[in-house]
């Protein structure tokens, strides 16, 4: 706990210093550009404030690849995630991590459609390496592709346009990996004997 304190303080400073400066934005087809500040990003929508004071909200899919990456990286700061990990204790695989994967990843990473070679539908599948290596390295979120992809290293996951997790949610998954990535679900285990149906 003590060791994480400086990161927490740093995270707060960065969060308050955030109001990003104006930058040039380009549409995905390269036809439109505008100078604006990033105000926010949620549910696939990016909110910008132009120099004129006008605010616009556009779908992240309509922005250039470089702009999308910028939005994701600014809205999921590693420092703030590290700070939030401090308060995310006792994260449960069964209660928290599976729900996270179900909400944000399973529709594209399942046994029928394991994009990139990754299936996240079970604990056993999560521990298998896909095309880019291990999704989870117990104790080491910085080496786990699950966290790296969420933080925009390689392909940013979930892709723009899909539901986006919050920093708090990412911090919980990181905290679970840091704590050893244990499976606390009951798993398939021995099944109870079938109950005889009452006869009519
Ligand atoms: C809308 C579909 C979709 C969703 C949702 C999605 N992915 Fe992916 N993911 C893909 C596709 C497609 C690829 C393959 C990209 C490639 O091979 O170039 C991929 C590749 C990956 C890779 C390997 C690529 C790399 O550079 O690391 C990882 C890791 C990954 N996904 C993790 C996740 C995680 C974790 C989530 C949920 C937080 C998620 N994905 C959600 C479609 C999706």
How many CB atoms within 10 Å of residue 57?
Answer: 11
Q: How many CA atoms lie within 13 A of 74 on its CB side?
A: 21
Q: Is the CB of 25 under 6 A from ligand 1?
A: no
- What tokens were used for 142? 């910085």
pLDDT of residue 126: 95
- Cα Dmax for the chain: 77
pLDDT reading at 14 higher than 60: no
Q: What's the rounded mean pLDDT across residues 17-34? A: 84
Q: Which of 118, 142, 173 to mutate to test ligand 1, by most ligand atoms within 8 A of the CB atom? A: 118
159 compared with 119, residue with greater pLDDT: 119
Contacts of 93 (CB under 8 A, 6+ apart): 123, 176, 181, 182, 183, 184, 185
Please state the atom number of ligand 1 nearest to the C-alpha of residue 100: 38
Per-residue confidence (pLDDT) for residue 23, from 0 to 100: 92
Does residue 157 have its Cβ closer than 6 Å to ligand 1? yes
User: What was the pLDDT predicted at 13?
Assistant: 39
Q: CA 116, CA 105: separation in Å to the nearest integer?
A: 12
Asked whether 115 lines ligand 1 (CB < 6 A), one says yes
For residues 170 and 156, what is the distance between their CA atoms, to the nearest angstrom?
A: 13
* Residue of 127, 155, 177 with the most ligand 1 atoms within 8 Å of its CB, for mutation: 155
**pLDDT value at residue 190:** 56
Residues 127-153 have pLDDT tens digits of: 999 999 999 999 999 899 999 999 878
- Determine the average pLDDT of the residues in 60-65: 92
Token pair listed for 77: 């700061």
């Amino acid at each position: 706990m003590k060791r994480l304190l400086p990161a927490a303080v740093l995270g707060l400073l960065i969060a308050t210093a955030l109001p990003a400066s104006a930058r040039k934005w380009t549409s995905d087809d390269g036809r439109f550009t505008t100078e604006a500040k990033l105000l926010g990003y949620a549910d696939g929508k990016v909110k910008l404030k132009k120099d004129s004071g006008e605010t616009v909200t556009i779908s992240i899919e309509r922005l250039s690849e470089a702009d999308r990456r910028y939005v994701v990286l600014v809205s999921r700061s590693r420092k703030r995630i590290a700070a939030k990990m401090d308060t995310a204790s006792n994260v449960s695989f069964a209660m928290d991590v599976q729900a996270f994967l179900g909400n944000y990843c399973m529709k594209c990473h399942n046994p029928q459609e394991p994009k990139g070679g990754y299936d996240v539908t079970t604990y056993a599948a999560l521990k298998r390496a896909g095309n880019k290596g291990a999704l989870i390295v117990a104790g080491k979120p910085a080496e786990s592709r699950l966290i790296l992809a969420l933080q925009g290293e390689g392909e940013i996951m979930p892709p723009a346009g899909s539901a986006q997790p919050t920093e708090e949610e990412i911090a919980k998954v990181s905290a679970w990996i840091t704590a050893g990535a244990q499976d606390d679900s009951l798993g398939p285990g021995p099944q109870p004997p079938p109950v005889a149906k009452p006869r009519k």
